[in-house]
Structure 1
Amino acid sequence: MPIHNADIAAIFEEIADLLEIQDANPFRVRAYRNAARAMGELGRDVKSLLEHDGKLPKLPGIGTDLDAKIHEIVETGKCALLERLHKELPPAITELLKIPGLGPKRVKALYHDLDVQTLEQLLRAARDGRIRALHGFGEKTERNILDAIESHINQARRFKLVVAAQYADTLITYLGKASGVKRVVVAGSFRRMRETVGDLDILVTADADSKVMDHFTAYDEIAEILSHGPTRSSVVLKSGLQVDVRVVNEESYGSALHYFTGSKSHNIAVRKLALARGLKINEYGVFKGQTRIAGETEESVYHTVGLPYIPPELREDRGELEIARAGHLPHLIELADLKGDLHAHTKATDGRNTLKEMALAAKAMGFEYLAITEHSRHLTVAHGLDPQRLVKQIDEIDRLNEELQGVTLLKGIEVDILEDGSLDLPDSVLARLDLVVGAVHSQFALSRTKQTERILRAMAHPYFTILAHPTGRLIDQREPYDVDMLRIIREAKKRGCYLELNAHPERLDLLDTQCQMAKEEGVLVSINSDAHNTLDFSNLRFGIGQARRGWLEKQDVLNTRTLKALLPLLKATM
């Protein structure tokens, strides 16, 4: 059975949760959480690494025991420790952890003090008013838990894009091996690069005698087969992700791909244009009366309604049809347009590779430059740099640049923006850097006014260059902090500094609509990996997807410039 990084991360996270509920040693709990994070952030597939190299790269916190468990999971799909923990605790208790606001500590209290073991028992306890009496809860928390349960019950599960990609990539390879298969493509919100995906819609073209559906339903990762037919089958994977596969004829391939890519509102708008011309568009083609006049390609579908091809990432009914009709569709940025990366970490703080290793990995990506931007001292959990350690790294980068060929390391810092808007390091050391990336890492709950003013004061600093992950959100974990983004973008324009689109798949921050806002205001966006190891540069594909959803073109992105063109832009902010 294929095992993905997300599967390993989920197992380690669940082990950590169950150990915490059992009141296990906090250091042991933390070890599994760190391992889950390491697996979730690893840019290469663990199974492929083991098959190719026979061992994992060195990862902080992954010792002999955890390394053995990773091998166990990859080889068997299971973990004996997790199975033992499941036997020791009520089987439904992990479902409680899926409720927002209920971490392991609170679940432990509910379990030990109220004997709450299931979602139904939790709902009853909240409605009966028994939760508010527990230490550390209260009436407001009880009400929030009740709201969260009801929302959880009514909400369909969605998967982060990076997780869906792991399953999609493997499925594409698997389906492509079936006899007679010609093309395999994932449609739906995945193709539109939405930050979360509800399910996977896969289209296949194949010979008439192909057994692709039998091949699909024999896939090892399937937990349940919902339907199995000659042209459509639907399954649920063991991860909970639903996958629908459709076999389509070559003459209908384009119209089917258009139909199943969506979005629904975009498709409706296109169909209205067709109706105005006496045409009908569906998944089988474009019809004039009973005659099919187009549908082999998506281009042919759009052509029949007087439009050029519209890239999937733009199909959200946000004005793309009007812009296309006027002939002004953007030429969206491509991954190959990036000349470098302006946000990366090394072993000096919470990264996992040396300066030289990161530089060579950037060179292998075809980059001209890589900015090293360690955390500053305020972020103690990441072992942030104080002035003395930063100066030492500056000198080390200067020495390394003398021997590097084909790539240049830029000297930077990801400096904390403190609550009063000041920066975490003195001007005397910031002045020696090529760029200063400012970031909010604390006090997320400030009011809109205070949070906005805090960031604006930081941006007014003479050495400020780029605002990192500007909303602070973590997808499905932490909501964006409340901030006046239009005001910040306009201040960036006035000040001459830039905004980051952080490509880390947990962030994808800026939001797509904010990218579009920055473009309209003339503020350059820097698409950065926030790499913490040499494999993380692969996450830039998700940042590019977000940028394309935000209508960004090559000229709208700071790090599409060559090093020669970039350096004056960086200096202009200092």
Structure 2
Amino acid sequence: MINLKLSKIFEDFAVMLEYKEENIFKINAYRQAARVLKKTNDLDKYVMEDRLGELPGIGKNLREKILEYYRTGKIAEYENLKKEIPLIIFDLLKIPGIGVKTARLIYRSFNPNTLDEVESLAKAHKLKEVAGIGSKTEQQILVGIASIREWQEKIPVSLYSRNVNEILEIIKSIPGVEKVSVTGRLRLKEEIIPYYHFLIVFNKSPDEFVKIMENLGYTLLSQEEGFLFLAPEGFKLKIEFCAKNNWGNKLFSTTGPETFLSVFGVLDDNFAEEEMIFSTKGLPFIEPELRTADGLFEFLQEKELRDLLTLSDIKGDLHIHSRHSDGVCTIKELAITAQNNGYEYLAITDHSQSLTVAKGLDEARLLTQIEEIEKLNQELSGITILKGIEVDILKDGSLDLPDKLLAQLDIVVASVHTGFKLPGEEQTVRIIEAIKNEHVDIIGHPTGRLLGRREQYDVNVDEIIYQAAKYHTALEINSSPERLDLKDEYVARARKEGVLISINTDAHDIHRLTNDLQFGVMVARKALLTKNEVLNAKDLKSLKKFLRK
């Protein structure tokens, strides 16, 4: 977790330096370091082995700051700089589309201390009077502040998946806790949850538990249907108490959802373990995340739970970025990691030329990469590297690399990265044009959503699914926990139409390549997919047959 803390500090450094209008190269150095640290989960090892200099962009100055944090738990320059920057700047930057320049303009013009004050200024149409803001930005700020308030009550899977075990261990360590489990929407592994939810057997009084939590820095908010606490970090945590002999019933009922519970009716007996409830109904134990699946019991009439896709069914990853664009690893490093993961193949799909912010590849650089991959395929054994690209779908539906170049690749993922606000009909036609292109194999992150940060764009998903089926184009479940795109509801519709699904990490580093696929497989299982319905559950020979469609 220390790498994430340092990443946040360095990102804040960049913001504060930009606010002070300092050297752009220095600002970018901190931003680059923040990105690198965020992805360096084994930072402790680099520090202990004195290898920080091996990390991209970590020079002498940044290295010393990292070591200072390890020694003292803080960075003096950072603490001093924070005293010079108004706190409201960081709140303003949470508004989508608002950068440091606009935030600085607002503060210097009106000196607001809270977002409530900024909202009042926008509603009074005061902000648009400032040169460089205007009516459009003013409206964007109002929408953004409303969105921030909404998402303050929501914890996305990208966050809770990282720290739920840490919270669980804290609860387990409390004297008197005999048994503990996640429950509710957390146990169902929903995309977004309102709070961390735990069921516990506690051999002391609830009041004693509250005292212990308050000593740990938690604040009791309410006692309705459990004890709701506010953590020092700002998230909410709900605790429900249970007797040992009723553990199975309570875990079952608090997990939900109601539609699933209604099939079982009223439970007449007390069950010490949840599995006993399923046995009484002649059913196999159904994993919590499957209990939200639409059509689950109809599925079980024809198939068994073991028929569903599992992580071990995946043969490779078909959407990965290397150092050639905005990834942090070499192609060889990615290939070796994929092989260690047990994969038969992986596809290198760096960004294409129009995405300049991600160092997208033009024709010459892509041809150079093709040569590198061909050499690596001769050098490495036990893993096949597929030559690919994540090509941008332009606003008119054309692709930003020529067909003759795409024809030289093994696989083409086509994605939208700009023009998110196109009208629904235009956005839909745009993606369909890409689906029709004979070289496009997969549509990447088809609805463009970012959980907790950006809603999906206006697009007719049913029409996209219909056209994907017609042109034999696969649709992606992007396994990045910040995306999970397509969501399970759409994946289930695609399955019914016979559309193959490709479950990819969109990894930019080896940690994501190894860790993130589990989230995409979870979405697939919620949509009741079997391995026969997943493109990258095919062996290499079968995959190549599809790619030659």
SS at match of 2:103: helix
- Superposed, 1:269-418 pairs within 5 Å as 269-273=259-263, 275=265, 279=266, 286=267, 288=268, 293-303=269-279, 308-316=284-292, 318-320=294-296, 323=298, 326=301, 331-418=307-394
Aligned to 1:136: 132
| CA separation of 1:142 and 1:422: change in aligned 2, threshold 3 A | closer
Q: Quick one: distance in 1 between partners of 2:70 and 2:222?
A: 29
How big is each residue's C-alpha offset from its partner over 1:442-462, in whole Å with a ceiling of 9 and x where there is no partner? 222222222221221122122
TM-score (norm 1): 0.84
Aligned to 2:36: 38
Query: Does structure 1 residue 63 correspond to structure 2 residue 52?
Result: no
Q: Unaligned 5+ residue runs, structure 1?
A: 280-285
Q: Quick one: distance in 1 between partners of 2:314 and 2:74?
A: 40
Shift of 1:109: 0.8
1:93 touches 1:118 (CA, 8 Å); kept in 2? no
Output the amino acid matched with 1:552. Answer: L
Shift of 1:115: 1.5
| CA separation of 1:347 and 1:129: change in aligned 2, threshold 3 A | closer
Q: Quick one: distance in 2 between partners of 1:46 and 1:76?
A: 19
Aligned to 1:20: 18
SS at match of 1:94: helix
Output the amino acid matched with 2:233. Answer: S
Q: In the alignment, which of 531, 534, 542 is matched to residue 557 of structure 1?
A: 534
Shift of 1:370: 0.9
Q: In the alignment, which of 76, 80, 83 is matched to residue 84 of structure 1?
A: 80
SS at match of 2:197: strand
Output the amino acid matched with 1:261. Answer: T
Output the amino acid matched with 2:426. Answer: K
How big is each residue's C-alpha offset from its partner over 1:218-244, in whole Å with a ceiling of 9 and x where there is no partner? 99xx54343899xx8765444312234
Output the amino acid matched with 2:440. Answer: F
Shift of 1:419: 2.3
Moved more, 328-337 or 160-169: 328-337
Shift of 1:174: 5.1
| CA separation of 1:449 and 1:47: change in aligned 2, threshold 3 A | same
| CA separation of 1:239 and 1:80: change in aligned 2, threshold 3 A | farther
Aligned to 2:471: 495
| CA separation of 1:59 and 1:529: change in aligned 2, threshold 3 A | farther
SS at match of 1:501: strand
Output the amino acid matched with 2:345. Answer: Y
Output the amino acid matched with 1:192. Answer: L
Aligned to 2:233: 239
Aligned to 1:120: 116
1:187 touches 1:201 (CA, 8 Å); kept in 2? yes
1:193 touches 1:542 (CA, 8 Å); kept in 2? no
Q: Quick one: distance in 2 between partners of 1:113 and 1:26?
A: 24
Q: Quick one: distance in 2 between partners of 1:355 and 1:502?
A: 20
Shift of 1:92: 4.3
Q: Quick one: distance in 2 between partners of 1:191 and 1:471?
A: 26
| CA separation of 1:439 and 1:149: change in aligned 2, threshold 3 A | closer
Q: Quick one: distance in 2 between partners of 1:299 and 1:181?
A: 22
| CA separation of 1:245 and 1:24: change in aligned 2, threshold 3 A | farther
Output the amino acid matched with 2:220. Answer: L
Aligned to 1:486: 462
Output the amino acid matched with 2:18. Answer: E
Aligned to 1:169: 165
Q: In the alignment, which of 191, 195, 199 is matched to residue 191 of structure 2?
A: 195
2:293 touches 2:526 (CA, 8 Å); kept in 1? no
Aligned to 1:258: 252
Q: Quick one: distance in 2 between partners of 1:228 and 1:460?
A: 55
Query: Does structure 1 residue 455 correspond to structure 2 residue 398?
Result: no
Q: Quick one: distance in 2 between partners of 1:254 and 1:562?
A: 41
Q: Quick one: distance in 2 between partners of 1:361 and 1:155?
A: 35
TM-score (norm 2): 0.87
Q: CA RMSD in A?
A: 3.4
Q: Unaligned 5+ residue runs, structure 2?
A: none
Q: Quick one: distance in 2 between partners of 1:23 and 1:447?
A: 37
Output the amino acid matched with 2:317. Answer: D
Q: Quick one: distance in 1 between partners of 2:153 and 2:28?
A: 27
Q: Quick one: distance in 2 between partners of 1:47 and 1:179?
A: 33
| CA separation of 1:66 and 1:132: change in aligned 2, threshold 3 A | same
Q: Quick one: distance in 2 between partners of 1:68 and 1:197?
A: 39
Output the amino acid matched with 1:226. Answer: L
Output the amino acid matched with 2:62. Answer: L
SS at match of 1:333: coil
Shift of 1:336: 1.5
SS at match of 1:121: helix
How big is each residue's C-alpha offset from its partner over 1:366-408, in whole Å with a ceiling of 9 and x where there is no partner? 1111111122222222222222322222222222112212211
Shift of 1:154: 5.8
Query: Does structure 1 residue 185 correspond to structure 2 residue 217?
Result: no
| CA separation of 1:272 and 1:344: change in aligned 2, threshold 3 A | closer
1:467 touches 1:499 (CA, 8 Å); kept in 2? yes
1:489 touches 1:521 (CA, 8 Å); kept in 2? yes
Output the amino acid matched with 2:107. Answer: Y
Q: Quick one: distance in 1 between partners of 2:380 and 2:388?
A: 18
Moved more, 470-479 or 555-564: 470-479
Shift of 1:316: 3.4
How big is each residue's C-alpha offset from its partner over 1:82-127, in whole Å with a ceiling of 9 and x where there is no partner? 4223311334443333344543222211100112222232233234
Aligned to 2:6: 8
Q: Quick one: distance in 2 between partners of 1:202 and 1:394?
A: 50
Count of residues in correspondence between the two structures:
544
1:159 touches 1:196 (CA, 8 Å); kept in 2? yes
Shift of 1:522: 1.0
Q: Quick one: distance in 1 between partners of 2:460 and 2:431?
A: 10
Q: Quick one: distance in 1 between partners of 2:228 and 2:51?
A: 36
Shift of 1:484: 1.5
| CA separation of 1:506 and 1:227: change in aligned 2, threshold 3 A | closer
Shift of 1:500: 1.3
Query: Does structure 1 residue 476 correspond to structure 2 residue 472?
Result: no
Q: Quick one: distance in 1 between partners of 2:43 and 2:140?
A: 40
Moved more, 122-131 or 538-547: 122-131
Q: Quick one: distance in 1 between partners of 2:328 and 2:140?
A: 39
How big is each residue's C-alpha offset from its partner over 1:507-558, in whole Å with a ceiling of 9 and x where there is no partner? 2211221111111111111111112122221111222222223332222211
SS at match of 1:488: helix
- Superposed, 1:71-110 pairs within 5 Å as 71-73=67-69, 76-110=72-106
Output the amino acid matched with 2:298. Answer: I
Q: Quick one: distance in 2 between partners of 1:63 and 1:145?
A: 37
Aligned to 1:282: none
Q: Quick one: distance in 2 between partners of 1:416 and 1:6?
A: 30
Q: Quick one: distance in 2 between partners of 1:52 and 1:250?
A: 45
1:307 touches 1:324 (CA, 8 Å); kept in 2? no
